[in-house]
Structure 1
Amino acid sequence: MSSPSATTVRVATRTSPMAMWQTRKCVGLLRAAHPHLTFETVPITSLGDRYHGPLADIGGKGAFVRALDQALTTGQVELSISCAKDLPSPHDRMPGVVIGGVLERDDARDALILPSGTPPTALGTLPPGSRIGTSAPRRTAQLRQLYTGFDAVPVRGNLNTRLTKLDDGSLGVDALLVAYAGMLRLDVADRAAEILDPTVWLPATGAGIVVVEHRSNDTAMHDLLAPVTHPATATALAAERATLATLHGNCTTAASVHALLHAATVTVHAAVFAPDGTRTVRARTTGPAEHPESVGREAAERLLKDGAAQLLPAPGRQS
């Protein structure tokens, strides 16, 4: 084991309330699986947490995990914990860091949040001209595609902060679109005015999945994570990230990849959206669950064959 002592494993985490929740859950599972070990949490503030402007300005999603990756590769920690949807595409990851543990997937759907005291209503029944807060290109594209008359407003920050500002009016929006899994984790699921149908409103790649990463040459950590890994979720995530990697998707890509397992097969539902919502290219592939990456790559290849490349951001934009 590559820990600083024979019985201590250091675990890096971002400092946001969501990240700390994820870490507490994961470390709890690890402690139950390995009661003879001590797990030490190492909080690290990422650039993505400090900066509240557009992610593309600071290197995209990599701004959330770059500091965690550095802590791993320099030997400061043995493990790091992240939400899979916050990870850059595989082709943009720092060499030497791999996903070793995958927790069971939580709810992958998105939800609508209205200011406190507002009567519950569906997204489609909000008044024309409503300002909808979200920072995700996927959500913005679908909002423009499925509804008319709404204004997508870029909004970032911790969920609790966004909720407070939504309620006091300082956020400058009439509603928020957020990940429902995050609401469940922070015990604010009662604020969901509508949970969006995932067959109509397509979810984020890796939505609802917490992952644990380690150095690629650290076989001891890989073995350590086996008891907390949910095999079906790991298979689905492998397929989803293979699609994203083949597309060379990044933080400005308006795309959704969602994999489902049925017995010994995995089915990948993938879509790439025009940023203005005028066009969507979709693909659906099914194959053996023992080869999820192949099924994921096939989905991306079909998307590209059908013209998805025209909807993707220009090469060179970081994720």
Structure 2
Amino acid sequence: MSTIRIGTRRSALATTQAGQIADRLRALGHDVELVEIVTEGDTNRAPLAQMGGTGVFATAIREALLAGRIDLTVHSLKDLPTAPAPGLTIAAIPPREDPRDVLVARDGLTLGELPEGAKVGTGSPRREAQLAALGLGLDIRPIRGNVDTRVGYVRDGALDAVVLAKAGLSRLGRTAEITEAIDPVQMLPAPGQGALALEIRSDDAALYDVVAAFDDADTRAAVTAERAVLAALEAGCSAPLGALAEVSEELDGSLEISLRAFVGRTDGTFDLRRSVTGPVDRAAQLGDELAALLLEDGARDAFESPNGDPPDPAPGGVLPATATVTPIHPTSAAEREQ
């Protein structure tokens, strides 16, 4: 097989994730090149909810994949739209990192220790809604940027804390900065959080045979259930919705999925949580069933503004999306920031 070109965003986290898959492929004897691709999410600094959220980090990379400029891409699964992309196949979903959200706060504080009025940064409506639902009186501030930028707001004193995905900090070797791993009882993660999706062209049978070996059946079942909730509710990846599925072995040796989900409003005025369980081979159906239960109990209200006001305009100018493709050196890629 010729050199496998892996498309990646330029951020340290994206290139680290792609680099880990590249290392696994090299260990199997393959030549690998990382290729940098600029996405709308990299150039448009507006809040994700104002951009629609879904696909802003994936579209340009998928276009490059379909055009044959790259052979494989490593997505953060939570960034992918739930609808299949014609001509593309998710060949593998490797074992998942810890899907929980975490707090990085000044003075080693936990959520419960933050004083009323503490400034907490997040760019996620899902996190904002669940923080508001806790009733801690926090002052939630919208932020964007890479891990260094977000943690820097705390280090510089602009914010008291930020909420991030533990998986990203783990992959970057920065778990020492975590002051609390937030229990999913308090904050459910985004569907697919902590999981990677290895996507290729559907007609690339040779590469499929290589990459499919990285697939983890339990992780695929869990994220299938979570993303089925997302799809059934027709909510984008920036919606105030969280879901977490966990696979466990029963006494008779069968595998069962426990699936829970949250929908809410960012102002904390609506907070709905429900759960279902069932066999692992019904992962997608369980997601559909949980979505139906949420809708029956009023979930649609979570996606409507309580006062009907439109979102605030995006600050600053908005740059056009691009699909610039530039080879980068594999060893220096992880040092680059978005």
What's the TM-score, normalizing by structure 2?
A: 0.84
How much has 1:154 moved relative to structure 2? 0.4
Structure 1: gaps spanning 5 or more residues: 1-5
- Percent of pairs with identical residues: 38
Alignment of 1:1-319 (within 5 A): 6-32=1-27, 34-35=28-29, 37-88=30-81, 90-91=82-83, 94-115=85-106, 118=107, 120-169=108-157, 172-263=158-249, 264-313=255-304
How much has 1:156 moved relative to structure 2? 0.8
Structure 2: gaps spanning 5 or more residues: 250-254, 306-310, 312-338
Q: What is the CA–CA distance in structure 2 between the aligned matches of 1:109 and 1:19, rounded to whole Å?
A: 18
How much has 1:124 moved relative to structure 2? 1.8
* Secondary structure of residue in 2 paired with 1:290: helix
Task: Give the aligned residue type for 2:122.
Answer: T
How much has 1:131 moved relative to structure 2? 1.0
Matched positions, count: 301
Is the contact made by 1:134 and 1:154 (CA closer than 8 Å) also made in structure 2? yes
How much has 1:313 moved relative to structure 2? 4.7
Is the contact made by 2:96 and 2:219 (CA closer than 8 Å) also made in structure 1? yes
How much has 1:113 moved relative to structure 2? 1.0
Residue-by-residue CA offset, 1:23-51 (whole Å, 9 max, x unaligned): 1111222233x32x322211112121222
Task: Give the aligned residue type for 1:162.
Answer: R
Task: Give the aligned residue type for 1:312.
Answer: F
Q: What is the CA–CA distance in structure 2 between the aligned matches of 1:61 and 1:17, rounded to whole Å?
A: 21
Distance 1:12 1:279, change over 3 A: same
* Secondary structure of residue in 1 paired with 2:60: helix
* Secondary structure of residue in 2 paired with 1:285: strand
Is the contact made by 2:153 and 2:159 (CA closer than 8 Å) also made in structure 1? no
Is the contact made by 2:54 and 2:238 (CA closer than 8 Å) also made in structure 1? no
How much has 1:229 moved relative to structure 2? 1.1
* Secondary structure of residue in 2 paired with 1:212: strand
Is the contact made by 1:48 and 1:61 (CA closer than 8 Å) also made in structure 2? no
Task: Give the aligned residue type for 1:268.
Answer: L
Q: What is the CA–CA distance in structure 1 between the aligned matches of 2:125 and 2:279, rounded to whole Å?
A: 31
* Secondary structure of residue in 2 paired with 1:63: coil
Name which of structure 1's ranges 44-53 and 214-223 shifts more when overlaid on structure 2: 214-223
Q: What is the CA–CA distance in structure 2 between the aligned matches of 1:73 and 1:155, rounded to whole Å?
A: 32
> What is the aligned-residue RMSD (CA, Å)?
1.9
Q: What is the CA–CA distance in structure 2 between the aligned matches of 1:139 and 1:78, rounded to whole Å?
A: 34
Task: Give the aligned residue type for 1:223.
Answer: D
Q: What is the CA–CA distance in structure 2 between the aligned matches of 1:66 and 1:281, rounded to whole Å?
A: 31
How much has 1:86 moved relative to structure 2? 1.8
Q: What is the CA–CA distance in structure 1 between the aligned matches of 2:5 and 2:287, rounded to whole Å?
A: 33
How much has 1:253 moved relative to structure 2? 1.3
Residue-by-residue CA offset, 1:278-301 (whole Å, 9 max, x unaligned): 222222122221231111111111
Task: Give the aligned residue type for 2:119.
Answer: R
Task: Give the aligned residue type for 2:142.
Answer: P
What's the TM-score, normalizing by structure 1?
A: 0.88
Is the contact made by 1:124 and 1:147 (CA closer than 8 Å) also made in structure 2? no
Task: Give the aligned residue type for 1:227.
Answer: A
Q: Which has the higher contact order (CA 8 A, sep 6+)?
A: 2
Q: What is the CA–CA distance in structure 1 between the aligned matches of 2:219 and 2:238, rounded to whole Å?
A: 25
